[in-house]
Amino acid sequence: MEDYGELLDRMVITVTSPDGNIRATINNAVRVDVEFLPGAFPRYDEYRLGQQLARLGVNTFIGFKRGRTEAYRRSYAMSAEEAERAGRPSTDPRRVRYEEQLDRLRGEGRSAGGVIQVTTVGMLRWSVEIRPGSIHRLGEERFLAEIHSALDSLLTDRQLKIIMLKADHFDLGIPGPLLERMRRLQALKQRGR
């Protein structure tokens, strides 16, 4: 039997965009690295690149979830069938409500320069909008920095929302005043879109 934490620490998932020209790598620390194959970047327009990045996002998240499930399975020396049974939805009403809301959770991220807006619903529906003219104005290196900052913003937003969602359904020991501040911060952010 292997240690779950060690398996997660070693986990690295690499996924390719549907057109094969963009690669994303993610690790358990949820550090995402995106890169273009040589010569691919200048051939995109903003719409097509947004579509490829959105589909890459979905595939990366699916790969990440599968990697974590595989690490769990290996750490408990389970067969694939045993792991599948263990991963079935809970019948606990609180857990069911939490999972339903998690599947509908909207995540939002904006790049540092405001060039890229990423929106997700449950991490299985992604939208990536790129400001027109950005590809040629920024060039590949600066554009990649914008992608990474948009993803960092998205993941931070999502984690904050997950913490608040968990606190609504389970006792996390977070003081009420702190949760209320977090909710007010989210409301202000929503109004400022």
From the first residue on, what is the mean pLDDT of each consecutive set of 10 residues in the chain (193 residues)? Answer: 87 97 92 96 98 98 92 88 80 88 95 98 96 96 98 94 90 86 83 68
d(CA 151, CA 30): 10
* CATH H superfamily, domain 91-193: Nucleoid-associated protein YbaB-like domain (3.30.1310.10)
Write down the domain spans for the chain: 1-88, 91-193
Edge-first strand listing for the sheet containing 12-16:
12-16, 22-27, 32-36
**Can you spell out the DSSP letters for 138-155?**
HHHHHHHHHHHHHHHHHH
Domains 1-88 and 91-193 in one fold: yes
- 1-88 carries CATH number 3.30.1310.10: yes
pTM (global) more than 0.85:
yes
Nearest to 10 by CA among 71, 66, 72, 56: 71
State residue 140's pLDDT score.
98
State residue 80's pLDDT score.
84
Distances (CA, A) of 178 to 58, 65, 98, 155, 156: 32, 30, 21, 20, 17
Nearest to 156 by CA among 30, 45, 55: 30
State residue 193's pLDDT score.
59
State residue 97's pLDDT score.
92
